[in-house]
């Protein structure tokens, strides 16, 4: 068996040590004589495991105690639909800063239940930069302000937490959570689907300030109430137990590596390596994003034409480098280099890119 270098955008690479532990525990977990997948979420063993996963996440992100942490199903997309339902009155103003494809999707989910305004948009420049904070048109009556911290497809990332308005800042961190240090207290809410930096798909994480949770929101079924999920410790109905367990293993693994600050230093080096290859290729590889907001997690780039890109992907796969095809919305190539993608994998890709450019230039 040989594992490839995996640059998939999500579901994405998981730490090998975590997969090996899951493999070792697959049949008998935690002295239970059964797999974690085969046990009740109401049993003490699972409840303890879930509580520990939350504690570890709180420690890793230094989440202030007053914030609630929820583990939810339905992915980041369902959370996007829950935002207006839970935190805005029917038809109330909500502001969105649009910096790429996933911001568009967040808006699509909110529109039926709120008065969405695009406070600033980078659509006009093809989502290659983040509109200057001074130019955002924020409304005084907005229930919240939404940003996408890292645009997974366009490779555009906020380098810092933007100054909030009067309204709490809600950030989609699906593809950047746990990749860099940040001050949670600057946010009203942070949410993320798991399948990039947390674990397998099927679970999502939400970190929420109590002021938002105190809001009445709109008429909704109990399953659509985030507060209701929290009241039941995220076990309102049957949770995705295996995904939750695996997320817990990833949190432990990250702690062992030295936490978010340690992984951030590695992530910075990984991204710098790839952008240096792109920028040093004499235009053979091109990344269109303003260097000030280039993503550390998703590195999209283009070659001269489709034929060359197809050739690149074919040879990459033959060399054990997978998941590099750009999203269909933008085409090109994309290397996703989440926490679990090692520096050795990034170096293998960098060398491949240099060799390929030399052969084809
Ligand atoms: N937001 C971002 C930034 C994403 O990258 C994705 C998935 N790639 C989503 C939202 C949608 O996530 P999900 O598939 O978990 O609903």
CATH number of the CATH domain containing 337:
3.90.1150.10
152 CA to middle of ligand 1, Å?
Answer: 8
pLDDT bucket at 1, cuts 50 / 70 / 90: low
56, 95, 196, 325: which one is catalytic?
196
Per-residue confidence (pLDDT) for residue 100, from 0 to 100: 98
Range of the domain at 195: 17-257
Could you tell me if 195 and 76 lie in one domain?
A: yes
- Supply φ then ψ for residue 120, to 5 degrees: -165, 145
pLDDT at 11 exceeding the cut of 70: yes
Q: How many domains does the chain have?
A: 2
Among the candidates 257, 289, 310, a domain finishes at 257
- Summarize pLDDT for 166-198 with one digit per residue, the tens: 899 999 999 999 999 999 999 999 999 999 999
Could you tell me if 331 and 227 lie in one domain?
A: no
Per-residue confidence (pLDDT) for residue 245, from 0 to 100: 98
* Span 10-21, average pLDDT: 98
Per-residue confidence (pLDDT) for residue 361, from 0 to 100: 82
Could you tell me if 83 and 158 lie in one domain?
A: yes
pLDDT bucket at 2, cuts 50 / 70 / 90: confident
pLDDT at 165 exceeding the cut of 90: no
pLDDT at 6 exceeding the cut of 80: yes
Q: Is the Cβ–Cβ distance between 5 and 322 less than 8 Å?
A: yes
Report the percentage of the chain scoring pLDDT > 90. 98
Q: How far apart are the first and last CA of the chain?
A: 34
Could you tell me if 242 and 343 lie in one domain?
A: no
- Summarize pLDDT for 93-122 with one digit per residue, the tens: 999 999 999 999 999 999 999 999 999 999
Could you tell me if 263 and 144 lie in one domain?
A: no
Locus of tokens 């924020």: 138
Residue bearing the CA closest to ligand 1, atom 4: 174
156 CA to middle of ligand 1, Å?
Answer: 14
Report the percentage of the chain scoring pLDDT > 70. 100
Pocket of ligand 1 (CB under 6 A): 10, 75-77, 102, 148, 152, 172, 174-175, 193
pLDDT at 287 exceeding the cut of 90: yes
Neighbour-count burial of 305, counting CB atoms closer than 10 A to its CB (0-12 exposed, 13-18 middle, 19+ buried): exposed
pLDDT at 283 exceeding the cut of 80: yes
pLDDT at 337 exceeding the cut of 70: yes
**Which H, E and C letters describe the chain, residue by residue?**
CCCCEECCCCCCCCCHHHHHHHHHCCCCCCCCCCCHHHCCCCCHHHHHHHHHHHHHHHHHHCCCCCCEEEEECCHHHHHHHHHHHHHCCCCCEEEEEECCHHHHHHHHHHHHHCEEEEEEECHHHCCCCCCCHHHCCCCCCCCCEEEECEECCCCEECCCCCCCCCCCEEEECCCCCCCCCCCHHHCCEEEEECCCCCCCCCCEEEEECHHHHCCCCCCCCHHHCHHHHHHCCCCCCCCCHHHHHHHHHHHHHHHHHCHHHHHHHHHHHHHHHHHHHHHCCCCCCECCCCHHHECCCEEEEECCCHHHHHHHHHHHHHCCEECCECCCCCCCEEEECCCCCCHHHHHHHHHHHHHHHHHHC
pLDDT at 28 exceeding the cut of 90: yes
Among the candidates 210, 237, 257, a domain finishes at 257
Could you tell me if 221 and 153 lie in one domain?
A: yes
Could you tell me if 109 and 58 lie in one domain?
A: yes
pLDDT bucket at 15, cuts 50 / 70 / 90: very high
Q: Is the Cβ–Cβ distance between 99 and 130 less than 8 Å?
A: yes
pLDDT bucket at 354, cuts 50 / 70 / 90: very high
Q: Which atom of ligand 1 has the smallest separation from the CA of 79?
A: 16
Which of 203, 257, 175 is CA-nearest to residue 7? Answer: 175
Per-residue confidence (pLDDT) for residue 172, from 0 to 100: 98
Q: Which atom of ligand 1 has the smallest separation from the CA of 74?
A: 16
Could you tell me if 73 and 165 lie in one domain?
A: yes
Per-residue confidence (pLDDT) for residue 290, from 0 to 100: 98
Neighbour-count burial of 328, counting CB atoms closer than 10 A to its CB (0-12 exposed, 13-18 middle, 19+ buried): exposed
**Residue at 4 is within a domain:** no
- Read off the pTM: 0.98
The CATH number that applies at residue 153 is 3.40.640.10
193 CA to middle of ligand 1, Å?
Answer: 6
pLDDT bucket at 351, cuts 50 / 70 / 90: very high
56, 95, 115, 172: which one is catalytic?
172
- Summarize pLDDT for 315-330 with one digit per residue, the tens: 999 999 999 999 999 9
* Span 40-67, average pLDDT: 98
């Amino acid at each position: 068996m040989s594992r490839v270098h995996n640059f998939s955008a999500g579901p994405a690479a998981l730490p090998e040590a975590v997969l090996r532990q899951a493999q070792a525990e697959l049949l008998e977990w935690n002295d239970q004589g059964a797999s974690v997948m085969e046990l009740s979420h109401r049993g003490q063993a699972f409840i303890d495991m879930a509580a520990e996963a939350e504690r570890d996440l709180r420690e890793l992100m230094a989440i202030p105690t007053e914030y609630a942490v929820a583990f939810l199903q339905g992915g980041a997309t369902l959370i996007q639909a829950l935002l207006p339902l839970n935190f805005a009155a029917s038809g109330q103003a909500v502001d969105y800063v649009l910096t790429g494809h996933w911001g568009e999707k967040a808006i699509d989910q909110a529109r039926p239940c709120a008065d969405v305004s695009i406070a600033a948009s980078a659509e006009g420049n093809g989502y290659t930069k983040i509109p200057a904070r001074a130019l955002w048109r924020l409304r005084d009556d907005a229930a919240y302000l939404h940003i996408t911290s890292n645009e997974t497809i366009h490779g555009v990332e906020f380098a810092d937490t933007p100054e909030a308005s009067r309204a709490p800042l809600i950030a989609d961190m699906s593809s950047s959570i746990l990749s860099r240090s940040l001050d949670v207290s600057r946010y009203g809410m942070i949410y993320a689907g798991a399948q990039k930096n947390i674990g397998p798909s099927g679970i999502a994480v939400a970190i929420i300030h109590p002021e938002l949770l105190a809001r009445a929101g709109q008429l909704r079924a109990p399953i659509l109430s985030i507060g209701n999920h929290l009241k039941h410790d995220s076990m309102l109905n049957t949770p995705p137990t295996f995904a939750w367990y695996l997320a817990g293993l990833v949190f432990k693994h990250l702690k062992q590596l030295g936490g978010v600050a340690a992984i951030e230093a590695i992530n910075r080096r990984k991204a710098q390596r790839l952008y240096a290859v792109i920028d040093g290729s004499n235009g053979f590889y091109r990344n269109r994003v303003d260097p000030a907001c280039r993503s550390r997690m998703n590195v999209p780039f283009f070659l001269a034409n489709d034929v060359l890109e197809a050739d690149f992907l074919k040879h990459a796969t033959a060399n054990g480098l997978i998941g590099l095809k750009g999203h269909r919305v933008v085409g090109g190539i994309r290397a996703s280099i989440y926490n679990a993608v090692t520096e050795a994998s990034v170096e293998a890709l960098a060398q491949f890119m240099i060799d390929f450019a030399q052969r084809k230039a």
